[in-house]
A and B are shown apart, each in its own frame.
Chain A
């Protein structure tokens, strides 16, 4: 087996492991699933100040009042 092939197989194992983790994190039912979710959450957390997904429009959104939506739909 060449070095390239060994490297490729190592990367394939690693990618499969990541998907396995994501699979369990997405189930989020058993204690083990939740552990996977926490691991993934930690691995993907961005450092404060470098979080390019922070956006005031999204982060400060509190949604709507149902009565207000009802009135809006009626054209009031």
Chain B
């Protein structure tokens, strides 16, 4: 995790209040920022047809929810390197030789080639990777087209970040809850560290709750900025979340601090859970986590008795060898302590009854069982695949009114590693066409060498993007995507919430940049299936989805900044839970039926390899960057010009590391170059690796990939079985063995050697 945002009292005192009076010649629009995945409600100011400023919303419920990435957006999207026209590859794959073509030419060829691949290999030979918080206007249309065509092989970064959390939460109580920050009395942060400029609304929520008197418990190996202001900080070993939560359960059950009435009436498998928890006495948990047993017990007691409490979603538990057990343990704690669907606890919101959800748009029901069974990875790691979620079809219909509610787009996915292996010719059948939309695939999953091999083995790669990313550099077609300043949007947090927000289009897209909606509509036409996407444009699509509100999209947008569903709590009293038993399944019947341990457990690290004595974790972002983006934005790059690893002063001393020197970090699967950052907040022996690094100014094309081969953390992320969660097959990114090797000087491909970054 990067250092905390500097909090300088003098600078804060000198900060000017925001001027809200309209400026001359400026029109304003209410917009939802999509620079990152948090979706802040903001206001854009437009002059001469351009967005010239982004500021926070005037609505007090969204006040101050804006960060440095949001305010720089007008310039970030005006970058001279932005792709403005469709490009067709004319040389060898990755040669960097492109020809400008029209959208019509591109889509006609793409459609013809996709049909040819499907005809030769079957529809499952087409895979798509996307990140819908980037593409936004996908709205499930990609799944809809794939379902009609017959391909189940859709993957996304949500496989290891929130999407998998949603799928696993359902194993316990049939939905993915949203914490009620406004009424909670206790917040548990597991590893993640919302800051002023990263996950800004969550930072705002947490600090506001603390100001009201709520307690904060932080589980984090680092002394993060949230750990520094926590009531209890447990500096657990990286990757030991599940062991820690088993310890919490041991305390809570032994001391009978749980909601006994709820457990009796609404859960199954409590006795079996108790037996499993008894395998984890606090002494063992202390050994596994490296934490003081008394502090573990104190934290558990505070969570159980200081509520209502919330454990907000954390991507950290998502990315561990014991991810399924860790997520299940969070779910079990929420349930047995009586925090499910109560104010200040974890709300199960369901869908807004007035608006057609994206899950309906996706039309999973049209994909045949035969094709669903071909979903890659579902044989060995089925948890978030169709197979793993099949048992929820009836319960979801019964409780939430929908057979395939695809929360966070993550409940019916193919496994990414299995998909890349099939693309590389190492799977049960070939995958020969790959579409990547708003998703820098090469850098966004584990085992980057496999991903590159997979891409080099494709007959057709289509990328919809803003910039010539490493992924785009390997494509057959690169199509220009629009930005959140240039399109309308409608969001319910991908089915996480029952409230909706609309976003106005603020300006026209530059060049021929087009929305993901347009892309899917054009593709449906290009494969002679125009009826799949029948809406003429995005606005008419929204009009259709909003019909139940009695408003058009324009009217909806004018009427409110947030469209709430009627709030209800403890809905399970009427409907039960959306699990096969109708109760909270502490012992999961679904995991059991899939052949897995139905109770949470902790799988320890493989034996230590003395050649790799340190442990790394990755997945952490700098404030100025969201995932692999924004490296071409000068203001952001000036803040973080190079990838920097963090180590403790003790580790730096042991390995004779000097601040700012270049080193290589290596493990059994790869090597990257980073600069050294010595940080007091880091524990000894742990190495923080920054996520998503490449340098847009460096040499493009195969063998170079703009520095990705030198800097991308995906090269250190392994996906062999010892480092995969069993049930989901997602990689362990928190505590991977590594070593640090000193470099003589700067790594090859010196920044700026190829061309200068436009300022």
Q: Could you tell me which A residues sit within 8 Å of B by CB distance?
A: 8, 11-12, 14-16, 18-19, 22-23, 25-29, 37, 40-41, 44-46, 49-67, 69-70, 72-75
In the complex, per-residue mask of B57-96: 1 if CB is within 8 Å of any chain A CB, else 0: 0011101101110010011001110100000000000000
| Closest B residue, CB atoms, query A19 | B567
Stretch from B44-52, B132-140, B316-324 at the A interface:
B44-52
With known contacts A11-B342, A70-B50, A26–B61 Cβ distance under 8 A: yes
10 new A-B contacts at CB < 8 Å, known A18-B182, A22-B61: A19-B564, A26-B562, A37-B59, A55-B196, A57-B197, A66-B52, A69-B74, A69-B75, A73-B80, A73-B82
Smallest distance from the beta carbon of B193 to chain A beta carbons, Å?
A: 15
Chain A residues, CB < 8 A from B74: 63-64, 69
Q: Quick check: A22 and B342 within 8 Å, CB to CB? A: no
Cα A74 to Cα B511 in complex, Å, equals 12
With known contacts A58-B68, A63-B74, A16–B567 Cβ distance under 8 A: yes
Chain A residues, CB < 8 A from B11: 56
Asked whether B560 is an interface residue with its Cβ less than 8 Å from the other chain, the reply is yes
| B interface: dominant SS | loop
Cα A23 to Cα B59 in complex, Å, equals 11
Q: Quick check: B758 and A61 within 8 Å, CB to CB? A: no
Q: Quick check: A15 and B569 within 8 Å, CB to CB? A: yes
Chain B residues, CB < 8 A from A11: 183, 308, 342-344
Asked whether B53 is an interface residue with its Cβ less than 8 Å from the other chain, the reply is yes
Chain B residues, CB < 8 A from A37: 59-60
Cα A15 to Cα B207 in complex, Å, equals 19
Q: Quick check: A23 and B564 within 8 Å, CB to CB? A: yes
With known contacts A16-B567, A61-B55, A55–B15 Cβ distance under 8 A: yes
Q: Give the B interface residue count (CB, 8 A).
A: 60
Q: Quick check: B61 and A75 within 8 Å, CB to CB? A: no
Q: Quick check: A22 and B52 within 8 Å, CB to CB? A: no
Q: Quick check: B561 and A26 within 8 Å, CB to CB? A: yes
| Closest B residue, CB atoms, query A24 | B560
Cα A47 to Cα B180 in complex, Å, equals 23
Chain B residues, CB < 8 A from A40: 60-61
Chain B 146-184 residues near chain A, CB threshold 8 A: 180, 182-183
Chain A residues, CB < 8 A from B182: 15, 18
With known contacts A56-B15, A73-B80, A63–B342 Cβ distance under 8 A: no
Smallest distance from the beta carbon of A47 to chain B beta carbons, Å?
A: 9
| Closest A residue, CB atoms, query B308 | A11
Chain B residues, CB < 8 A from A57: 68, 71, 197
| Closest A residue, CB atoms, query B343 | A15
| Closest B residue, CB atoms, query A16 | B567
Q: Quick check: B68 and A73 within 8 Å, CB to CB? A: no
The 6 closest A-B pairs by CB, nearest first: A63-B53, A15-B343, A59-B15, A53-B64, A75-B80, A41-B60
Smallest distance from the beta carbon of B30 to chain A beta carbons, Å?
A: 10
With known contacts A54-B12, A63-B45, A69-B50, A74–B61 Cβ distance under 8 A: no
In the complex, per-residue mask of B1-35: 1 if CB is within 8 Å of any chain A CB, else 0: 00001010101111111100000000000000000
In the complex, per-residue mask of B547-587: 1 if CB is within 8 Å of any chain A CB, else 0: 00000000000011111100101100000000000000000
| Closest B residue, CB atoms, query A5 | B261
Cα A52 to Cα B63 in complex, Å, equals 12
Chain A residues, CB < 8 A from B393: none
| Closest B residue, CB atoms, query A45 | B60
In the complex, per-residue mask of B172-216: 1 if CB is within 8 Å of any chain A CB, else 0: 000000001011000000000000110000001001100100000
Q: Quick check: B48 and A67 within 8 Å, CB to CB? A: yes
Chain B residues, CB < 8 A from A56: 11-12, 14-15
**What would 14 A/B residue contacts be, using CB atoms closer than 8 Å?**
A8-B342, A11-B344, A19-B564, A25-B61, A49-B9, A53-B207, A58-B66, A58-B68, A60-B16, A61-B53, A63-B45, A67-B48, A69-B50, A69-B52
